[in-house]
């Protein structure tokens, strides 16, 4: 491993930071004879993040099973799987309204960003065909479908095998049938191949791509996307395909990790952090987001501010997620094939959330405009208003660019 110019007693600090913490144990875990900790967890220790193992009772009068509500300590639920009023199939309206009014996103839901601006730019018309290549929770699609009626059709793509069935159920429940809405599990890079498969050989009138993570992915500890919650270190958009972040880090070499941290998040401490991550993961896999957080923190200067610590954690988690899911190569493929997917006069809007994505979109539109592929492009990026950011803090980093096909 290359030498790095930074003061750090790696063995001592990592050993101290990764020492198992004495965490409290809930009753269901005692019954199983298990106790959670950050050091060397087994996969089953996080099974409660994916399933509800509360006891099921039966009402003799009704003959229907019912589940006791999720139990938690204190007056308010703190962990994702405890927020039963938000995660229920019929969420509590009062709880949802309070969270939204306070600028928070309810667990298991997602608040679409730049909706008004997107609708103005794409301007869906009755009878047209469009594509939302990053369906997510379906917030944008729901509004696009309304503008397409009567007679319009929307193709919606998403690679997330866990979220897609839930979103399809929600949209079908709103009355959008298969004659109006076609849903396919597919990465947005596969749009050009998907259109002829469904018989749309000529192309579409508009395309929307929202490149950010959905709140359902960020907030669920079982997905492993956030440093704020402890869970298995996965980070895959499609948990059924590819290497998890745990396995990716185990195989990653120092030089590649430095490049990933710089390209994916412009991380100024890329070499220091990469050296520690490679050293630790070469001995034992980094199994959880909690372990990854502690390992990153061990590489930071001791005088770093709290805001600096949080920013660094967010950047490193983002860069690793981008690499695990090969997001840049997928975006490059999508942009390369985009013009052939649009009808003459077709509109495209792309939302990005960090500089690496935005640079690619900007250069593609600029080069396409100069070569005559696009007749008009956004003169500048469109950002959320201050009002939207105050209502939804996750909108703060969003940038949107658009173009119109010649």
Q: Tens of pLDDT along 328-355?
A: 999 999 999 999 999 999 999 999 998 9
391: left (phi over 0), alpha (psi -120 to 50) or beta: alpha
* Residue at 151 is within a domain: yes
Q: What is the pLDDT of residue 62?
A: 52
Verify that 179 and 245 share a domain, yes or no. no
Verify that 313 and 341 share a domain, yes or no. no
Q: Which of 6-20, 196-210, 275-289 has the lowest mean pLDDT?
A: 6-20
Q: Average pLDDT in the 89-111 region?
A: 59
Which of 286, 309, 324 lies at the terminal end of a domain, its last residue?
Answer: 324
Q: Is residue 85's pLDDT more than 70?
A: no
Q: Is residue 200's pLDDT more than 50?
A: yes
CA–CA gap between residue 286 and residue 233 (Å, rounded): 8
* Residue at 63 is within a domain: no
Q: Is residue 72's pLDDT more than 90?
A: no
Q: What is the pLDDT of residue 213?
A: 83
Of residues 334 and 41, the one with the higher pLDDT is 334
Q: What is the pLDDT of residue 22?
A: 45
pLDDT band at 69 (very low <50, low <70, confident <90, very high): low
* Residue at 76 is within a domain: no
Per residue in 155-179, pLDDT (tens digit) is 999 999 999 999 999 999 999 999 9
Greatest mean pLDDT among 71-75, 232-236, 391-395 lies in 232-236
Q: Which of 16-20, 207-211, 330-334 has the lowest mean pLDDT?
A: 16-20
Verify that 339 and 353 share a domain, yes or no. yes
Q: Is residue 95's pLDDT more than 50?
A: yes
* Residue at 36 is within a domain: no
**Count of CB atoms situated within 10 Å of the CB of 82:** 18
CA–CA gap between residue 226 and residue 289 (Å, rounded): 7
CA dihedral of residues 256, 262, 264, 267 (deg, nearest 10): 130
Which of 295, 324, 353 lies at the terminal end of a domain, its last residue?
Answer: 324
Verify that 339 and 205 share a domain, yes or no. yes
pLDDT band at 107 (very low <50, low <70, confident <90, very high): low
**Cα–Cα distance list, 58 to 13, 22, 55, 71, 78 (Å):** 52, 37, 10, 19, 28
* Residue at 381 is within a domain: yes
Q: What is the pLDDT of residue 15?
A: 46
Q: What is the pLDDT of residue 92?
A: 64
CA–CA gap between residue 227 and residue 233 (Å, rounded): 10
Q: Is residue 96's pLDDT more than 70?
A: no
Q: What is the pLDDT of residue 215?
A: 77
* Residue at 54 is within a domain: no
Class of residue 36 by CB neighbours under 10 A (exposed 0-12, middle 13-18, buried 19+): middle
Residue 332 three-state SS: helix
Per residue in 350-403, pLDDT (tens digit) is 999 989 999 999 999 999 999 999 999 999 999 999 999 999 988 999 999 999
* Residue at 22 is within a domain: no
CA–CA gap between residue 91 and residue 166 (Å, rounded): 14
The DSSP-derived string for 6-28 is S---HHHHHHHHTSPP-----HH
CA–CA gap between residue 188 and residue 90 (Å, rounded): 30
pLDDT band at 214 (very low <50, low <70, confident <90, very high): confident
Verify that 314 and 340 share a domain, yes or no. no
Q: What is the pLDDT of residue 216?
A: 80
Which of 324, 346, 364 lies at the terminal end of a domain, its last residue?
Answer: 324
Verify that 335 and 306 share a domain, yes or no. no
Verify that 305 and 338 share a domain, yes or no. no
Verify that 208 and 344 share a domain, yes or no. yes
**pTM, to two decimals:** 0.75
Verify that 210 and 140 share a domain, yes or no. yes
Q: Average pLDDT in the 266-289 region?
A: 96
For residue 305, the enclosing domain spans 238-324
The whole-angstrom distance between residue 217's C-alpha and the CA centroid of its chain comes to 5
Verify that 315 and 342 share a domain, yes or no. no
Report the domain count for the chain. Answer: 2
Q: Average pLDDT in the 21-36 region?
A: 41
CA–CA gap between residue 170 and residue 181 (Å, rounded): 12
Q: What is the pLDDT of residue 8?
A: 43
CATH number at residue 177: 3.40.50.150
Q: What is the pLDDT of residue 98?
A: 62
Of residues 220 and 198, the one with the higher pLDDT is 198
Q: Which of 107-121, 191-205, 341-355, 387-401 has the lowest mean pLDDT?
A: 107-121
Per residue in 124-164, pLDDT (tens digit) is 999 999 999 999 999 999 999 999 999 999 999 999 999 99
Verify that 382 and 347 share a domain, yes or no. yes
Give yes or no for a contact between 323 and 235, defined as CB atoms under 8 angstroms apart: no
Q: What is the pLDDT of residue 75?
A: 58
Q: Is residue 101's pLDDT more than 70?
A: no
Q: Average pLDDT in the 175-195 region?
A: 97
CATH number at residue 257: 1.10.150.170
Verify that 120 and 209 share a domain, yes or no. yes
For 316-348, give one letter per residue: b (16+ CB within 10 A) or e. Answer: bbbbbbbbbbebbebbebbbeebbebbeeebbb
Of residues 306 and 48, the one with the higher pLDDT is 306
* Residue at 95 is within a domain: no
**Cα–Cα distance list, 255 to 1, 14, 62 (Å):** 9, 21, 63
């Amino acid at each position: 491993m290359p030498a790095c110019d930074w003061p750090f007693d790696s063995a001592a600090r990592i050993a101290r930071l990764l020492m198992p913490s004495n965490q409290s144990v809930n009753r269901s875990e005692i019954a199983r004879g298990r106790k959670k900790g950050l050091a060397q967890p087994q996969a089953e220790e996080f099974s409660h993040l994916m399933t509800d193992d509360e006891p099921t009772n039966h009402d003799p009068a009704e003959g229907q099973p019912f589940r006791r509500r999720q139990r938690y300590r204190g007056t308010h639920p703190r962990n994702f799987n405890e927020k039963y009023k938000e995660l229920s199939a019929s969420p509590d309206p009062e709880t949802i309204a309070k969270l939204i009014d306070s600028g928070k996103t309810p667990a298991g839901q997602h608040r679409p960003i730049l909706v008004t601006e997107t609708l103005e730019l794409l301007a869906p018309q009755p009878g047209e065909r469009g594509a939302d290549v990053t369906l997510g929770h379906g917030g944008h699609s729901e509004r696009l479908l309304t503008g397409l009626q009567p007679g319009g059709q929307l193709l919606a793509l998403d690679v997330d095998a866990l979220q897609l069935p839930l979103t399809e159920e929600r949209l079908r429940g709103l009355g959008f049938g298969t004659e109006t809405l076609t849903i396919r599990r597919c990465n947005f890079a596969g749009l050009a191949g998907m259109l002829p498969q469904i018989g749309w050989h000529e192309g579409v009138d508009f395309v929307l791509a929202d490149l950010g993570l959905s709140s359902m992915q960020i907030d669920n500890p079982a997905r492993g996307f956030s440093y704020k919650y402890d869970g298995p270190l996965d980070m895959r958009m499609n948990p059924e395909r590819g290497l998890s972040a745990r396995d990716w880090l185990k195989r990653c070499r120092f030089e590649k990790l430095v490049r990933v941290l710089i390209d994916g998040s412009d991380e100024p401490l890329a070499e220091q952090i990469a050296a520690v991550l490679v050293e630790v993961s070469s001995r034992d896999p980094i199994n959880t987001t909690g372990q990854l957080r502690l390992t990153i923190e061990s590489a930071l200067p001791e005088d770093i501010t709290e805001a600096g610590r949080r920013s660094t954690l967010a950047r490193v988690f983002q860069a690793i997620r981008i690499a695990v899911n090969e997001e840049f190569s997928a975006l490059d493929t999508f942009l390369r094939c985009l013009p052939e997917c649009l009808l003459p006069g077709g509109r495209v809007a792309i939302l990005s959330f960090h500089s690496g994505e935005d640079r690619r979109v900007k250069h593609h539109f600029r080069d396409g405009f100069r070569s005559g592929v696009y007749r008009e492009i956004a003169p500048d990026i469109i950002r959320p208003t201050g009002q939207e950011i105050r209502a939804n803090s996750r909108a703060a980093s969003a940038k949107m660019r658009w173009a119109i096909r010649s």
